[in-house]
Amino acid sequence: MNRIQTWGLTPIRCLVGAVLILVTGAGSVSAQVGASVTIVDANIATEQELSALPQLTPALVRSLVEARPFASITELDALLARTLDREQITTLYGRLFVHLNLSTATREQVLLIPGTGPRMAHEFDEYRPYVALAQFHREIAKYVDDTELARLEQYVFVPINLNTASDADILTIPGLGARMLHEFEEYRPYQAMAQFRREMGKYVDDKEVARLERYVTIN
C-alpha cells in the first residue's frame, strides 16, 4: 500500500478528518455494517452454509452453532484453534468471520483479517474513534484500491445509535429484517441498554438479544 502523506503530517490529517466529520455529520450516512463480499457472519450463517466451508467438519459445525453467539472474533478463534491450525483458520477467515467494532477491536483482532499486516492494523487504529463507516471508507481508501477496500470493509462495523439511526443503517445489522426494525424504533428514545435488552427480549431469546446488542449504542 502506498502512503501519499508523510508521517509528519499525521496530526494535520487527523484534524482535517475530524473537521469533515463534524461538518458532514454521521446521521446522514448509511451502512454502518460492512457489506459482505466473500464472508458470511459466523453468528447467523446456516448450518448448510457452514458445512460448505472445507475447513469445517460436521463436528466443528455443531460446536460452532452450539457456542453462538460469539461476542468477538477472539471467541470464535479460540474454538477453531482446538481443531484447526493457524493456516487453516486464516483461510477460513476469508469466508467466515465475526464483525469487528472499529473503535474497540484490538490490534490482535484486526490482524486476524486475512492479508492485514501491522501497517494496515495501524491505519485501522489511527482514525479512532469512528463515528460512521463512511469515515473508515474515506480514510482507508487512501491506501488501497476499491476492491481491497470492499474486502476489508466487510469485516467491520460502527455501532448504530439506537435513538437516531436511520432505517437503512439499522437494516445493515446482519439478519435483521423489517419486523425487528419496527421493534427497534418502537421504543425510542432509549435511556439505557437495559431497556433495549428488556424490550427486544419480548421478541427474541437472550442469545439473539446479545448478538444484536453488539451492533448498537446509546449516545
Residue 109 pLDDT: 98
For the chain, the domains span 40-97, 160-217
Chain segment 101-139, per-residue pLDDT in tens: 999 999 999 999 999 999 999 999 999 999 999 999 999
Q: Which of 2-16, 59-73, 196-210 has the lowest mean pLDDT?
A: 2-16
pTM of the model: 0.85
Closest among 88, 89, 93, 123 to 107, alpha carbons compared: 123
pLDDT at 219: 79
133-172 pLDDT per residue, tens: 999 999 999 999 999 999 999 999 999 999 999 999 999 9
Residues 35-87 pLDDT 10s? 999 999 999 999 999 999 989 999 999 999 999 999 999 999 999 999 999 99
The CATH number of the domain covering residues in 40-97: 1.10.150
d(CA 91, CA 202): 39
- Give per-residue burial for 185-214: e unless 16+ CB within 10 Å, then b: eebeebeeeeebeeebeeeeeeebbbbbbb
Identify the pLDDT of residue 30. Answer: 57
**Residue 80, pLDDT score:** 98
| pLDDT value, residue 7 | 30
